[in-house]
């Protein structure tokens, strides 16, 4: 199975409002609440495409129970470490013709005891895992190199890691002796890592950027480019994955859906071409749905056939 990590899950609350009024009351009818956090978006897409997975991370309180119940209802297997503090909520207000205002709680602060307990719990889950995905930022209280420690634990059990994070946590993972198999930085994250500007429309420059020694030892680097697809490095090969023009309904969670596609393709031992085509298809299918981290499996084959991969 694929083990997916969401250390700071959240109840994602979506409020559709015609107009957001400040300093007064806004009444909402069609409230939607889903099990969120980037890793749970990854989990839902993997599950919708019929692959075995277990979702893990920290979970706590009544909100945590609600979240686990939601995953049960969706048929998503999970094995979280319970903690004393409440799991967070994240609010997205969709208003004024396409605007999105978000209020994101920081979530619980993890104690050093729970941090250690989770690593023990994680070690047990790794025994049944073929592949690991780690997504998102970390909750408060954990050291910057906590993902790096997790990658070392996975490495000790020969479980490869797909890492989708940013900032100091990503930098720490790239500097460690045990590397993730794959990273998925966006333009901003690449610029942060390289300490210089990056132009994602200039593929020749991107090819140079991805050969920076900072990435040595990382097999796959996937730079997703929204409607332009993705620029990808796999070992010493470079590709541009091109996608068709599609009708976008809601692009939020496309990056997570892309990671789900990469995980399934790699897990299934597919060719480079099919791994990238799977990832582009899951990304596109997510943009075509209103819900975040959702895909319609019935459309998979049609859009898969429309992705083209060129060597660069």
Closer Cβ to ligand ATP, 221 or 225, answer by number = 225
- The region that residue 172 occupies, defined by phi over 0 for left and psi between -120 and 50 for alpha, beta otherwise, is alpha
Number of residues counted as binding ligand ATP (CB under 6 A): 21
10 Å CB burial of residue 77 (0-12, 13-18, 19+) is: middle
Position among 172, 283, 295, 309 found at the interface with ligand ATP (CB under 6 A): 283
Question: Residue 248 interacts with ligand ATP (CB under 6 A)?
Answer: yes
- Interacting span for ligand ATP (CB under 6 A) from 26-34, 92-100, 249-257, 296-304: 249-257
Task: Give me the phi and psi of 252, to 5 degrees please.
Answer: -65, 130
SS3 content of the chain, % helix, strand, coil (to 5): 40, 25, 40
Closer Cβ to ligand ATP, 128 or 201, answer by number = 201
Question: Residue 226 interacts with ligand ATP (CB under 6 A)?
Answer: yes
**Contact between 204 and 172 (Cβ < 8 Å):** no
Position among 186, 190, 210, 218 found at the interface with ligand ATP (CB under 6 A): 186
Q: How far apart are CA 300 and CA 285, in angstroms?
A: 7
Question: Residue 135 interacts with ligand ATP (CB under 6 A)?
Answer: no
Closest listed residue to residue 166, CA positions, set 141, 130, 192: 192
Q: How many degrees, rounded to 5, is the angle at CA 167 between CA 159 and CA 2?
A: 25
Closer Cβ to ligand ATP, 28 or 246, answer by number = 246
At closest approach, how far in Å is the CB of 211 from ligand ATP?
21
**Contact between 77 and 53 (Cβ < 8 Å):** yes
Position among 258, 276, 295, 309 found at the interface with ligand ATP (CB under 6 A): 258
- Residue indicated by tokens 């409002």: 17
Question: Residue 36 interacts with ligand ATP (CB under 6 A)?
Answer: no
- Residue number with the shortest CB distance to ligand ATP? 255
Position among 115, 163, 280, 295 found at the interface with ligand ATP (CB under 6 A): 280
At closest approach, how far in Å is the CB of 244 from ligand ATP?
8
List the beta bridge partners of residue 92: 14, 102
Position among 93, 162, 230, 260 found at the interface with ligand ATP (CB under 6 A): 230
Give, to the nearest 10 degrees, the angle between helix 61-74 and helix 38-48. Answer: 20
Question: Residue 192 interacts with ligand ATP (CB under 6 A)?
Answer: no
Q: Which residue ranges make up the site for ligand ATP (CB under 6 A)?
A: 186, 224-227, 229-230, 243, 246, 248, 251-256, 258, 280, 283-284, 287
């Amino acid at each position: 199975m694929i083990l997916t990590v969401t250390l700071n899950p959240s109840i994602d609350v979506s409020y559709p409002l015609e107009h957001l009024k400040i300093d007064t009351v806004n009444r909402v009818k069609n409230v939607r609440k889903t099990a969120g956090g980037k890793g749970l978006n990854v989990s839902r897409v993997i599950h919708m495409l019929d692959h075995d997975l277990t979702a893990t991370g920290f979970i706590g309180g009544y909100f945590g129970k609600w979240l686990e119940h939601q995953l049960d209802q969706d048929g998503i297997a999970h094995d979280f470490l319970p903690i004393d503090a409440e799991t967070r909520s994240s609010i997205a207000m969709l208003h004024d013709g396409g605007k999105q205002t978000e209020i994101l709680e920081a979530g619980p602060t993890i104690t050093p005891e729970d941090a250690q307990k989770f690593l023990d719990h994680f070690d047990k889950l790794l025994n049944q895992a073929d592949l690991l995905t780690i997504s998102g930022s970390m909750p408060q209280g954990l050291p910057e190199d906590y993902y790096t420690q997790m990658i070392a634990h996975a490495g000790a059990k020969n479980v490869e890691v797909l890492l989708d994070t940013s900032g100091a946590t990503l930098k720490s993972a790239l500097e460690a002796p045990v590397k993730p198999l794959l990273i998925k930085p966006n333009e901003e994250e690449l610029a942060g890592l390289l300490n210089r500007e990056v132009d994602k429309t200039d593929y020749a420059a991107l090819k140079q950027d991805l050969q920076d020694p900072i990435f040595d030892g990382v097999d796959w680097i996937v730079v997703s480019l929204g409607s332009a697809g993705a620029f990808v490095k796999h070992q010493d090969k470079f590709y541009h994955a091109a996608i068709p023009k599609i009708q976008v309904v809601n692009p939020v969670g496309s990056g997570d859906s892309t990671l789900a596609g990469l995980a399934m393709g790699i897990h299934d031992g597919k060719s480079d071409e099919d791994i990238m085509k799977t990832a582009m298809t899951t990304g596109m299918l997510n943009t075509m749905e209103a819900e975040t981290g959702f895909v319609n499996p019935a459309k998979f084959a049609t859009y898969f056939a429309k992705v083209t991969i060129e060597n660069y």
